[in-house]
Amino acid sequence: MMRAETYAVVNLAALNLIEAASAAYYVTEKEAAARHEFRAREMLKKIASALGYEVAEVGWRNGETGELPAAAHGQAPSSGLRLVFGRSVE
């Protein structure tokens, strides 16, 4: 069973994730899209953390995990996220 605090964090982060992803999809300015994409990624990290996972940046083209070069951040085709089990879920 999920604790009430965990549920509250996940629920609020999920709502923020939906809003950020929708905003990133419909916005036309590149800078605004990057800001919304960043917010969506942060909400994914918050959800993963609350559920006992960590989120690692991965490059889709080469399949490598770890830090991406600064130029690759904010470009959807070349970067992604991967869930990594971090700790046991209470």
Please indicate, yes or no, if residue 10 is contained in any of the structural domains.
yes
Average pLDDT score over the chain? 78
Residue 90: pLDDT above 60? Answer: no
Average pLDDT over residues 5-27: 92
Please indicate, yes or no, if residue 90 is contained in any of the structural domains.
no
User: Residue 9 — left, alpha, or beta (φ > 0 → left; ψ -120 to 50 → alpha)?
Assistant: alpha
* Residue 79 confidence (pLDDT): 63
Residues 41-73: pLDDT tens digits? 999 999 999 988 888 877 755 545 555 444 444
Please indicate, yes or no, if residue 59 is contained in any of the structural domains.
yes
Could you tell me the residue range of the domain that residue 74 belongs to?
4-85
Beta strands in 4-73 (DSSP E): 53-58
Please indicate, yes or no, if residue 25 is contained in any of the structural domains.
yes
